[in-house]
Amino acid sequence: MIDPGFDEYVRVFGPQVDMETEKLRKAYSDVLNPLREVSMVQSYLNDHRPSPPPSEPRAFYVLGTLTVQLLEGIYASLGLGAPVAAATCFRSLFEVLLSAKLIAESDSVNRSSLYMNFEKHLRGVHLDRGTKAGVSPPPEIDVDKAKAEAIAVRGDYDSTGVHWWSKIMWTSEKDRKKSFGTSGAAAYLDKKGVPSGIDRVSFAELGVRWFSTFSSVAHGSIAAANVMPSFGGRPMAWKLNPDSVRLAALAVAAGAEVISVCEEGRSHPKFQWSRVKLKSIAEAALEAQLRLENQPIR
C-alpha cells in the first residue's frame, strides 16, 4: 500500500530521532560507557593471554565471550532507549554468572567439560523435537553423528535441555534426570558459601530481584510493556531517563565479576590487575547512576 505521507514522516522524523538519541546517549554516557569498558578489559586480557595449557577449563573462554556479547547488547539497547531488549540480555547474564561460579567453585576441569558438552546434548534434544514436529534438520548437520554424540553424553544432563548444571546438584541415583533451574543453582552456591561478588547479596536474592523480575519481561508479558516507563508513558523506544538505564550499573558489576572469576580460573598473569580495574569501573558506574537519581553516593 502506497502512502506518500509515511515517506515524508520518515524523512523528517528519522533524523530527529537520531539526533535526540545521540544527545541522550551523551547525557547518560557516565552510566552507559562502563558497559563498554568492561568489554574492553576482556579484549585487552585476550590480547595479552599466553598460550593456554590443554588442561585449562575451556568454558571460561566461552563465558567471557558471552559476557562481552551481553554487555554490548545491553549498551546498544539502552543507547537506543529500548530497555525491554536490554532486560532480556540482563536476564541471560544471570545464568552466565551462575555458570562461571559453579565451574570455579570445585572440580573446574570436569565441570568445564560438562558445560562444553551440553551443546551436544542440546543438539540431540532439538533434533528429537524437530522430528516430532515434522521439521527437517539443516542440511549441514550430520544427523547420525549428532545423535551419536548426544547419546554419549545424555546421561550427564536432565531431559529438559535448558540448563547444563543439574548433575552438579544430584546427590544420589534417585536424583538422576532431576532438573535444577536457576533457583536450584543459586541455592547450591549459597549453601557452599560462594559469594555472588555483587554488593554482598546472596544468589537467592539476586535470583528473585534480578532473574525472576526480568523473566517476566523476557517472556513478553504485560510487565514488558510497563518496564521502566519514561515519565509515566510507554514509549516504543528512543527515550532515556534515570529509570531506563538503571540496570546498566548492575550489569557492569555482574560482567566484571564473571570476567574476574574466569580470568582467575585461567590463571591469567594480569588477573590481579583486572580484578582491581573491573572493580573500579563497577564503582564508577554505580556512582554515576546514583548521581542521576540524586541519591547519596555510598
Q: Which residues contact 285 (CB under 8 A, 6 or more apart)?
A: 30, 31, 34, 35, 248, 249, 252, 253
What mean pLDDT value characterizes the chain?
Answer: 89
In this prediction, residue 297 carries a pLDDT of 42
- Per the listing, cell 560438562 goes with 114
- What's the CA gap between 40 and 157, in Å, rounded? 34
Tens-of-pLDDT digits for all 298 residues of the chain? 667 798 888 999 889 888 888 888 888 999 999 999 999 999 999 999 888 777 789 999 999 999 999 999 999 999 988 888 898 999 999 999 999 999 999 999 999 999 999 999 999 988 988 888 988 888 888 888 999 999 999 999 998 889 999 999 999 888 888 999 999 999 999 999 999 999 889 999 999 988 888 888 777 777 666 665 554 566 667 777 887 788 899 999 999 999 999 999 988 999 999 999 999 999 999 999 999 887 544 4
In the numeric block, the cell 569498558 is attached to 37
The structure's pTM equals 0.90
H-helix segments, the chain: 4-27, 29-47, 59-79, 83-105, 108-133, 143-153, 166-169, 182-191, 203-206, 213-218, 222-226, 246-265, 271-292
Between CA 14 and CA 21, with CA 16 as vertex, the angle to 5 degrees is 100
